Structure 1
Amino acid sequence: MQKRIIRCVLFALFLCFGVTAQEQRLSKEGAVAMMLERNFGVRIAQNNVKVAENNKSILNSGFLPTVTANANANYQRDDSTFEFPGQFITDENGNQVPRPDTELYKAEAQRYGAGISSNYILFDGLGRLYDYKRLKEEYNLTELQARETIETTMLQLFTVYFEVARLTENIAVLKETYDNTQNRLQRAGYSFEYGQTNKLDVLNAEVDLVNDSINLINEKQLLRNTQRDLNVLLNEDLSQLYNVDTTIVFTNPIILEEFLEVGEQNNIRMLQAEKNITINDYILKSGKSVLLPTVGLTGFYGWNLNQNAPGAFFPGVNVNNTRNFGLGATLTWNIFDGGNGITQIKNAKVLLDSQEILEQQIKQEVRRDIANAEGNYKNRLQIYRLQEQNVSTATVNYTRSNEQYKLGQITSVELRQAQLNLLNAKTSKNLAKYNAKLAELQLLQLTGQLLNVAL
C-alpha cells in the first residue's frame, strides 16, 4: 500500500511537470528590455511621443510662408462659316456682286499660363509664438505621460515577475517538505515492519504525503498560470515559460533618503501638473493676440501666353505673351469681433487658475502618497527581517523535533506540526521579501527614481 501511494504521487508529479527543463531563465534586466520593446501600452505611449514631436516641428509652427503654384493650358479648334447678307463687293469687271461667305477651317487657339504666389505673416499679435512654445511644452508633457506609462507598466511587470519568483521558491520549500514526509513514511514503514511502531504512524505519514503532493501540484499549476501572465505583459508566446531571478537586493538606505528629499520635485504627477500650468499660460497669452493687428506680405509672379485663332476680320494669328510680378503688404485689425475673443481670454484665465488649484491638490496628495509608501516600505522590510528570524527558529525547532521523533520522544503529529510551522515560516518569509521589494519600487516610482536605479 505504501509503495503504491508513493508511485502514484510521483507519477502524477511527473505527468504534470515534466517540462521544467525546457524553461528559459529571464533576468530582471531582460524582462525590462522586453517590456520596453514589446509591451502594447508602452508602444502606444512611444507613438504618442512621436506624434507630439511632429507637432512641435517648425513645419507646424506657422512661422513659415505659404507658397502656391498654379498652371493652366487650353486648346481650342473652330470650323466657322461667316455670312455677309446685304453686303456687296466690286468684282474684277467693276460690277457690284454679293460678298461671298468666308470659311475658316481648323482655326486653332491656344492659351497657357503659370504662376506662383506666396504669403507670409510678419506679425500676428505673438499668437503663433506662444502656440509654438505651447506645442513644445505639450511634447514635454507627452514624454512625461509616456514615462508614467512605462513606470506603471514596470510595476505591473515586477508584481508578476516577483510572484513567479515567490512561487518558484515556495515550490522548492514544498518539495523539501514533500521529501521529508516521504522519508518519514519510509522510516515509519520500516519501524512498523519490525514492530517498533503501530500502523497509525504509517497512516499519518501516508495522509501527509498525499497532502504535500497536492500542495506541490497546486503550487506548480499556479506558477504556470503566473508565467503566462508574465508573457502577456512581455507580449511573448504563451507557450514560452520563463524561470526568473529570485535574488533580491534592497536600495541603500542612504541613497533612498536622498531620493526622498527631492521626491516631491521629481514626482511624475507634479511634473505633469507644472507642464499643464505652463501650457495653459501659453494658451492665455496666445488668446490675447486677437487684440493686436496682423501684418502680412504677399508676392506673386505669373506668365501667360495667348495664341488666338484667325477671324473673319483678322486673318492672321494673334499672339500675346505677358509676364507679371507683384509685391504687397496687408494689415488687418479685428477691432471688435462681437466679444468672442474677450470671452476666450477670460475662460483661459479661469482654466489657468484651475490648473494652479489642481497643482496644489496634487502636491498634497503626492506628499501623502510618499509618506504612506515610505511607511509601508519600512514596515514590510521590518516584517521581512522578523520572518527571517522566524525561519531560523522554526528550522531549529524542526531539526530537534525530528531527532526527538527518531528517539520516540514525540509523536508523528507533533513532528508534523513542527514541519508545518517551518513550511509556513519559509513561505511567509518569501511573501514578506517580495512584498518589501514591491513597496520599495512603489516608493521609488513616487520619488521619480524607478527608472534610475538598479533593480
Structure 2
Amino acid sequence: MKYVNKLTFLLLVSFSATFAQEKLTKEQAIKLALENNYGIKIAKNQVKIAKNNASIYNSGFLPKVVANADARYSLNNTELTNRDGETSEINDAKSQTYNASIGFNYTLFDGLGRSYNYKKLKETYNLSELEAKTIIENSVLQIFSVYYEVAKLTEDNKNILESLNISKQRLERAKYSFDYGQSTKLQLLNAEVDVNNDSISYINNLRFLANAKRDLNLLLGRPVTTDFTIVTDVKFNIFFELNALLEKVKKHNIEVLKSNKNIELNKYDLKVNKSFLLPSLTLSGSYGYNKSKNDASVFINQLSNGLNTSLNLTWNLFDGGTTKTRIQNSKITADNLLIQKEQIENELERTTANSLEVYNNALFILKAEEKNVETNKRNFSRTEEQFKLGQITSIEFRQAQVNLLNAKSSLNQAKYDTKNAELKLLQLSGELLNTNF
C-alpha cells in the first residue's frame, strides 16, 4: 500500500504540473522546426552559398583590374669601356627606380562559355533550393512522426490511468469484502497485484512519453527539457486516387524535379565544353608611370608615363582531343541522366502504389479498431455489472478490463499509423509543405 500511496503522490504532482505546460500545436511545431532545426538551418545556409555562387561577381562577365607598384635601390661600382678602348670608373653609383601601373583585362568573347556557365550557376542555385526542400520535407515528416508518437503515448497514458483507477476501485471493494468475510484473501491479493501491474505500466508509459518529448524538442532545436502538451486530434484526407496521385508525383515530386534540374545542368555542361571549340577575344590595357635615376647611365634621370592597350585573339585549333572527349562524355552523361529519371519515375510509381495500399489498409484497420473499442466497451460494461452482482470471477473481470485497454491502445496506434501513411502520400505528391495540418 505504501507503493500505491507513492504513486498517488506522483499523479498529483503530474496533474498540477500540466497547468503550467505550453500547448504545442502541429503548426507551432513546424514553425519552430523551420526556424531552429539544425539540419534545416544548415540546408538554408547551403542555399545562401549557392546564391552567392550564382552572383554576377562569380560569372566572369566583369573585368579584372590590377594595380602594381614597386621601388628599387642599388649602389654599384661600374667600369665603362668605349669603342676606342678608353676606360673609366664610376664608384658608388646610385640607381633608383620607381614604377606604378594600373591595368585591366576583359574577355570580349569566349565562345559563349561565360554565358552558359552563368546560366548553369543559376540552375545550380535552383537545385540547391530543391535539395533544401528535400531536407525540410524529410524533417517535417520526422517531426510529425515523433509528434504523433507523443500524441499516442499521451492518449495511452490517459487510458492506462483510467484502467488504474478501475483497478483501485476494485481493490477497495476487495478490501471491504475481505474485512466483512465476503471474499477470500486470494481475491484481495489478485486485486493488489493488478493495481501494481497497472501502476508499473503507467510509470513506464510516463517514461516513454518523457523520452518522446525530448526527442521532439531536439528536432525543434530547443532545450530538450522543455515540457509541453500536444493536440491529439487528427484529420484525414479520406480518399486518394492512384492516377491523380501519379500525375502529381510526376509534376511535383522533389526527386523528379531534381532529376529534371540535373538534366538542364548537363545541357549547359555540354554547351560550355563546345565553347572551347571557338576562339576567344581579350582586351587588355594599362596606364603606367616609371621613373629612374642612375648615376652610371648616360641619362641620369628618366621619366615615362602613358597608356598601353592590346587586343588578343586566341583560337585553340587542336588541344590533343581534350575538348572532344569532354563533349562525348557530356552526351553520355545526358543519356545516363535520362535513364536515371526513368528509373526514379518507375520507383516512385511503385512507392506511390505501395504507400496508397498501406494508407487504405490503415484506414480499414482504423475503422475496425474503432468498432473493436465499442464492442469491448459494451463487453466491459456488462462484465462490470455481472462482477458487482457476483456472477463472474475477478479473473474474468480483469480479462475484460485488459481487453478494453488493449483495444484502446490498438486504436491509438491505428489512428496515428494512418496519419503517418497519409503524410507519406502527401510527400510523394509534393504537397506535404502546402498542406494545412
* Alignment TM-score, normalising by the size of structure 1: 0.87
Aligned to 1:89: none
Unaligned runs of 5+ in 1: 84-100
Aligned to 2:84: none
Change (3 A) 1:19 1:446: same
Matched, 1:378 2:360: yes
SS at match of 2:288: strand
Q: d(CA) in 1 for partners of 2:416 and 2:61?
A: 55
SS at match of 1:302: strand
User: Which residue identity lines up with residue 290 of structure 1 in the other structure?
Assistant: F
SS at match of 2:276: helix
Q: d(CA) in 2 for partners of 1:441 and 1:319?
A: 84
Aligned to 1:70: 68
**1:11 shift after superposition:** 5.2
Aligned to 1:87: none
Aligned with 1:401 (options 383, 393, 417): 383
Q: d(CA) in 1 for partners of 2:19 and 2:340?
A: 54
Aligned to 1:46: 44
Aligned to 1:173: 159
User: Which residue identity lines up with residue 64 of structure 1 in the other structure?
Assistant: L
SS at match of 1:291: coil
RMSD, aligned CA:
2.9
User: Which residue identity lines up with residue 345 of structure 2 in the other structure?
Assistant: K
User: Which residue identity lines up with residue 43 of structure 1 in the other structure?
Assistant: K
Aligned to 2:322: 340
**Higher mean C-alpha deviation, range 288-297 or range 436-445:** 288-297
Q: Deviations 1:175-232 (Å, cap 9, x if unpaired)?
A: 0000011001111222232333333332221111111111111111111122222222
Change (3 A) 1:196 1:335: same
User: Which residue identity lines up with residue 290 of structure 2 in the other structure?
Assistant: N
**1:44 shift after superposition:** 1.7
Aligned to 2:175: 189
Q: How does 1:11-160 map to 2 (within 5 A)?
A: 23-75=21-73, 110-160=96-146
Contact 1:26 1:243 survives alignment (8 Å):
yes
Q: Deviations 1:52-79 (Å, cap 9, x if unpaired)?
A: 111111111111111111112234568x
Q: d(CA) in 1 for partners of 2:201 and 2:224?
A: 24
Aligned with 1:298 (options 284, 298, 309): 284
Contact 2:240 2:356 survives alignment (8 Å):
no
SS at match of 1:262: helix
User: Which residue identity lines up with residue 202 of structure 2 in the other structure?
Assistant: L
Matched, 1:212 2:198: yes
User: Which residue identity lines up with residue 193 of structure 1 in the other structure?
Assistant: D
Aligned to 2:403: 421
Q: Deviations 1:98-136 (Å, cap 9, x if unpaired)?
A: xxx99989x765432211111111111122211111111
Q: d(CA) in 2 for partners of 1:12 and 1:241?
A: 16
Matched, 1:449 2:431: yes
Q: d(CA) in 2 for partners of 1:4 and 1:40?
A: 46
Q: Deviations 1:213-252 (Å, cap 9, x if unpaired)?
A: 1111111111112222222222332322332221212236
User: Which residue identity lines up with residue 251 of structure 2 in the other structure?
Assistant: Q
Change (3 A) 1:435 1:102: closer
**1:290 shift after superposition:** 1.6
Matched, 1:10 2:19: no
Q: Deviations 1:258-306 (Å, cap 9, x if unpaired)?
A: 6664222100110011011111111111111121111111111111223
Q: d(CA) in 2 for partners of 1:245 and 1:354?
A: 47
User: Which residue identity lines up with residue 106 of structure 2 in the other structure?
Assistant: Y
Contact 1:391 1:422 survives alignment (8 Å):
yes
Q: d(CA) in 2 for partners of 1:64 and 1:12?
A: 71
Q: d(CA) in 2 for partners of 1:255 and 1:36?
A: 31
Contact 2:100 2:289 survives alignment (8 Å):
yes
Aligned with 1:351 (options 325, 333, 337): 333
Q: d(CA) in 2 for partners of 1:121 and 1:8?
A: 83
Q: d(CA) in 2 for partners of 1:147 and 1:214?
A: 43
**Higher mean C-alpha deviation, range 256-265 or range 161-170:** 256-265
**1:405 shift after superposition:** 1.3
User: Which residue identity lines up with residue 120 of structure 2 in the other structure?
Assistant: R
Q: Deviations 1:337-374 (Å, cap 9, x if unpaired)?
A: 11111111111111111001100000101111112112
Contact 2:242 2:356 survives alignment (8 Å):
no
**1:409 shift after superposition:** 2.0
Structure having the higher Rg = 1
User: Which residue identity lines up with residue 65 of structure 1 in the other structure?
Assistant: P
**1:442 shift after superposition:** 0.7
How many residues matched?
Answer: 431
Contact 1:259 1:449 survives alignment (8 Å):
no
Q: d(CA) in 1 for partners of 2:156 and 2:51?
A: 47
SS at match of 2:302: strand
User: Which residue identity lines up with residue 228 of structure 1 in the other structure?
Assistant: R
Unaligned runs of 5+ in 2: 81-87
Q: d(CA) in 1 for partners of 2:27 and 2:130?
A: 22
Q: d(CA) in 1 for partners of 2:167 and 2:243?
A: 47
User: Which residue identity lines up with residue 132 of structure 1 in the other structure?
Assistant: Y
Aligned to 2:216: 230
* Alignment TM-score, normalising by the size of structure 2: 0.90
Contact 1:301 1:324 survives alignment (8 Å):
yes
Q: Deviations 1:353-398 (Å, cap 9, x if unpaired)?
A: 1001100000101111112112211221221122122212211221
Aligned with 2:304 (options 310, 322, 333): 322
**1:144 shift after superposition:** 0.5
Q: d(CA) in 2 for partners of 1:235 and 1:402?
A: 48
